[in-house]
Structure 1
Amino acid sequence: MDQLADLVSKVSDIVWNSVLLYLLVGTGVIFTIRTRFVQVRKFGAGWKRLFGSFSLKGEKAGKDGMSPFQALTTAIAAQVGTGNIAGAATALYSGGPGAIFWMWLSAFFGMSTIYGEAVLAQKYKTVDKNGHVTGGPIYYIRARFTGRFGKFLAGFFSLAIIFALGFTGNMVQANSISVAFKTAFGTPQVVIGVICAVIAGFIFLGGVGRIAAFTEKVVPVMAIFYMVGCIGILCVNHAAILPALKSIFVAAFDPQAILGGAVGITVREAMRYGVARGLFSNEAGMGSTPHAHALAKVEKPQDQGEIAIVSVFIDTFIVLTLTAMVILTSGQLQSGVPDGLQGTELAQAAFNVTLGSVGNAFVAVCMLFFAFSTLIGWYFFGETNVKALFGQKATKVYAAIVVVCIVIGSALKVDLVWNLSDLFNALMVFPNLIALLFLSGIVARAAHGEDITKK
């Protein structure tokens, strides 16, 4: 079993670090150029649309979809997860402060990619046999590629996302919650797993209406709670803010000037870990969030594309950056040092510097919010593909399997499961990127204001 886990891990590392990073960033650059920097031109419009549909208790989502705000919060529920805490800490430990600069740069290009995903999800959304609006990469892949190749590519994507997010991914999220609570409060992991499974099962059974109602209430509250906590810590550590920002920009191009030559972190590693953790966190180009954006009730596809831009900004430039700044101003970071703190432990240590023992509890509660909301979002994305492949009846079986995965995942951490999650996350990206690149002309027309609703 250990040998298999190591093999899967090596394959995953090769795919992520040697192939996928270049494809994801490259796609973002292409979309940025073809849309004439849509993430800059439509940034203000995206915020206006967001606040125009803002509500903690909006109209009930149903067969005809959900509000643009509900679609955004469902997307952000999946994006803002454990990667915003543990992922930021890992990037800083492995890539140094400079990793944050490259994280920002990849997110900037990712904003144009996610614009394209949302636009295409809107254009190619459809109504299923039960009269429910549905959409996502499987539908725009099928629309672009006909015949056996199209069926294979769409089917491959759907199976990969079901396993990557619905099954193995949610096991990882459940484990993150249970471990954080065990560390902070000593609560048995399986107890936390059962509680999460029961609550999640209740939400799953309520369908898209209950999922949208959950995300529109929880996502804004969890984001504000975390941001207020981080900003409070930064106010206390205000003297270290400018040095921290300086270290980000200097270390992005000259890590040794900040870390010293003995650490061994190069510009290449700063780029690698910054881009990898940033893309894994905001999910731009991965094909997950289009499932939510497809359901938004908007006049034109580009309307939801503008709102989607905001989701990457919130995930990376606000939430993830706040985590990085708390860590950098805490003095707890020891980049590249063997046996140094990393991941969740590093984040908890950084918060403990200012909050004392309350820091562990704060991180645990935030991990609960972040990971559980991601769990709900990922379930929904997987469910869309289960329905597309196997029909409505199969969703009950899918929901039952996910609930079991939550309990199992919370009770034990199996390296093979974590490595498989990373690998399936990588595999589902390829079909999505292929479709995005072949459909980039339609996205460009939308960004330039053309009507793309016509066939």
Structure 2
Amino acid sequence: MEIIQDIVGVTSDFLWAKLLIVLLLSLGVFYTLFSRFVQIRWFKEMIVLLADKGTISTKGSKAVSSFQAFTISTASRVGTGNLAGVATAIAGGGPGAVFWMWLIALLGGASSFIESTLAQIYKVKDENGFRGGPAYYMEKGLNMRWLGIIFAVIITFCFGLVFNSVQSNTISLAFEEAFGMNRSFVGMILAILTAVIIFGGVHRVARVTQVIVPGMAILYLLLAIIVLLMNVTEIPGMIRLIFENAFGLREVVSGGVGAAIMMGIKRGLFSNEAGMGSAPNAAATAAVSHPVKQGFIQTLGVFTDTLLICSATAFLIILSGAYTTPDLTGIQLTQVALSEHVGSWASLFVAIAIFLFAFSSIVGNYYYGETNIEFIRKSKLSMTVYRVGVVAMVMFGAVSELNLVWSLADLFMGLMVIINLVAITLLSKVAIAALKDYEEQRKKGKDPVFYADSLPNVKGIDAWDVSPSKKKQAM
């Protein structure tokens, strides 16, 4: 096990220290400039679209409103990254890691816009409405089905197996801290619940978690606001500490500025998933009148996840000072920090919150894998093997050491990011062309509508109707 930890750790460190930090920041800047700061210019539109009732983009499909799409994506993003990931970042990189989480969220807003808009443009119809994602725009937009298959394999392994072990790891640690429960016992319970859900009855449970998770997120934010008000005089010093540590002006935790940058970006990306290629799988399912609408909604989801919920956790931890305690990291650091603010009951609250957040993510992660397995080939045997693998990894994660689980997550997350960023960079002109089409219609006071021929030089757009003028010509 130690040898595996070393190999995974070295490979992951190479990707993040040498390649991905430069790639994420440089391409985030590129997308921001190429889109003319879309994540800032159209922020008001993102808020307005939450009230959009949803329109049918193709005949016979059930429309999902923009607000429903927002709550679904928020439920998917909000999970262990917000509570445990932030704690891991601060423990390993100091308070300065928070600044780099903010930066990757701001730049990642543009990356999220590009990938989610592309997912909408190249989505396909199925018996339940629509499906799509990176594998689909790699096949239809780049004519590289082979690359789509590679991505589908990695995201299935990454989300369905590795990330689910991260979720169960965090749940078991939280319950051990709060209730003194044996982690193996917690793992068995989680494995059984997961098996029941993914082998049947998953739709009903998914609908319930989509209601519970946003509600729990709001409750968590309210608790964080109360703590901030209790410590209002310490807020200026906390903000100053974050910026000083971010640029190496003050050494607080070992590693200095390099650790702050690497941990902030890794944990920030794990939480908000911007540019990773995961959220587009969910974005493609929405039935909206224009692909750009879903691009805006997913960008708002990134901001909500990192700038609100992750910041809330970070503030709780920094104000408590618990991050300076040796060997205290992950979800247990968050529990200890919150307990110092409001009392021992906070540890129970965090345990329940992380169970709801993480377990709903297990369901969502499973679906990402299922969708991509179907992209490769529809096979009952493959799906059964995958489901058994998911249950096994849930059990494995619950009893494993935190470092190994997070290292595996970092490694495969890095591979996903590289492939997806290459694809969306090659297709970015298509997303920007769709944005220009949206902007032109908005200037005319219209509610933008997209058609298969709205981008005449783009091939592979199959799920959208042709424009009324084209229909008349055909007749």
Structure 1 residue 175 and structure 2 residue 169: aligned? Answer: yes
| Match 1:116 to one of 102, 114, 133 | 114
Percent identical pairs in the alignment equals 40
* Counterparts of 1:189 and 1:273, CA distance in 2: 26
Match of 1:402 in 2: 390
Task: Mark the runs of 5 or more structure 1 residues left unpaired by the alignment.
Answer: 55-61
Bigger Cα displacement from structure 2, 339-348 vs 229-238: 339-348
- CA separation of 1:175/1:442 partners in 2, compared to 1, >3 Å: closer, same or farther? same
Per-residue deviation at 1:66? 4.3
SS of structure 2 residue aligned to 1:285: coil
Q: Decide whether the 8 Å contact of 1:95 with 1:271 is kept in 2.
A: yes
Cα distance in 2 for partners of 1:378, 1:20 equals 23
Q: Which position in structure 1 is the counterpart of 2:442?
A: none
Report the Cα distance in structure 2 between the residues aligned to 1:412 and 1:254, rounded to whole angstroms. Answer: 33
CA deviations over 1:151-201 (Å, ceiling 9, x no partner) = 321111111111111012212211210121122112233443343344444
1:131: Cα distance to partner? Answer: 6.3
Q: For each residue in 1:355-404, what CA deviation from the matched residue of structure 2 results, as whole angstroms up to 9, or x when unmatched?
A: 22212212211221221122122111111101111216343443343233
The 5 A counterparts of 1:190-339 are 190-205=184-199, 209-210=203-204, 213-256=207-250, 259=252, 265-334=255-324, 339=326
Q: Distance in 1 between matches of 2:25 and 2:201?
A: 34
Give unmatched runs, 5+ long, in structure 2.
55-59, 439-449, 459-475
* Distance change in 2, residues 1:192/1:341 (3 Å): closer
Q: What is the alpha-carbon distance in structure 1 between the residues aligned to residue 428 and residue 294 of structure 2?
A: 16
- Note if contact 2:122-2:141 (Cα within 8 Å) is conserved in structure 1: no
Q: Displacement, 1:418?
A: 4.5
Take 1:420 and 1:69, find their aligned partners in 2: how far apart are those partners? 34
1:126 equivalent to 2:119? Answer: no
Residue 35 to residue 315, structure 1, CA distance change in 2 (3 Å): same
Tell me which residue corresponds to 2:344. 357
Native 8 Å contact 1:72 1:307 kept in 2: yes
Match of 2:413 in 1: 425
How far apart, in 1, do the equivalents of 2:206 and 2:293 lie? 19
Q: Identify which range, 404-413 or 293-302, moves more after superposition.
A: 404-413
What is the one-letter code of the residue matched to 1:332? A
Larger radius of gyration: 2
Q: Which of 145, 149, 164 matches 1:151? A: 145
State the one-letter code of the partner of 2:135: I
Q: Is the 8 A contact 2:85 2:267 kept in 1?
A: yes
Q: What is residue 57 of structure 1 aligned with on the other side?
A: none
1:60-75 matches, within 5 Å, as 66-75=64-73
Q: C-alpha separation between the residues in 2 aligned to 1:167 and 1:420?
A: 10
User: Residues 331 and 53 from structure 1, CA distance in 2 versus in 1: closer, same or farther, beyond 3 angstroms?
Assistant: farther
Q: CA separation in 2, counterparts of 1:324 and 1:174? A: 22
Shift of 1:51: 4.0
Aligned residues: 437
Conservation of the 8 A alpha-carbon contact between 2:238 and 2:318: yes
TM-score computed with the length of structure 1 as normaliser: 0.88
Aligned partners of 1:127 and 1:133 also within 8 Å: yes
Corresponding residue SS for 1:449: helix
Q: Which amino acid aligns with 2:294?
A: Q
Maintained 8 Å contact 1:91/1:273: yes
TM-score by length of 2: 0.85
